[in-house]
Amino acid sequence: MEWREVLEHPSLKNLPFKIETNKWGKIMMSPASDLHGIYQSRIVRTIGRLAKEGETATECPIQTSEGVRVADVSWRSNAFLKKHGVRNLALPQAPEVVVEIESPSNCVAELEEKKQLYFEAGAREFWLCDENGNMRFFNPQGELKRSEFFGEFPVRIDIEVA
């Protein structure tokens, strides 16, 4: 199934799942949780505070060699925006920073595969937020102590309830 067909298919609208495709165009779905959405929001707000330019986005569809994968959060520079615009059904190249947030439905191998696919598609950093809010940062050469783009980004996202 082509990505445009997935987006326009009436039975796939308003599902409480993240939809992606594999290399054969088959649909894969992952359930979302409230905590997952809170982490997405916190990551977007923190990048927005630290970024001097560019755009953040949630649920960013990226064309990879294995189908369309949807990053939980992404950041793209103004140069990336100028080159690729913002009206893509799926980005033909990964933005500079892509973030995945672990959920109970993820396995380590799946997240490792996504990391490699995003790097193959041009990402310069991959961030992983675990279910406790711990952040890990990677570039194509391996794990980093901090983001090279946003060095002040916290290594833990705390969820405080008042």
Q: What angle do CA 42, 46, 51 make, to 5 degrees?
A: 150
How confident is the model over 141-159, as pLDDT tens digits? 999 999 999 999 999 998 8
pLDDT, tens digit, for every residue of 57-110? 999 999 999 999 999 999 999 999 999 988 878 999 999 999 999 987 778 888
Inform me whether the pLDDT recorded for 162 exceeds 60.
no
Domain-wise residue ranges, the chain: 32-144
CA–CA dist 125, 138 (Å, integer): 6
CATH number attached to the domain at 32-144: 3.90.1570.10
Q: Which of these, 69, 58, 56, lies nearest to 112 by C-alpha position?
A: 69
Which stretches does DSSP call E strand in 32-160?
55-64, 67-76, 97-101, 125-129, 135-139, 142-144
pLDDT band at 27 (very low <50, low <70, confident <90, very high): low
19-39 per-residue burial string, b: 16 or more CB within 10 A, e: under 16: bbbeeeeebeeeebeeebeeb
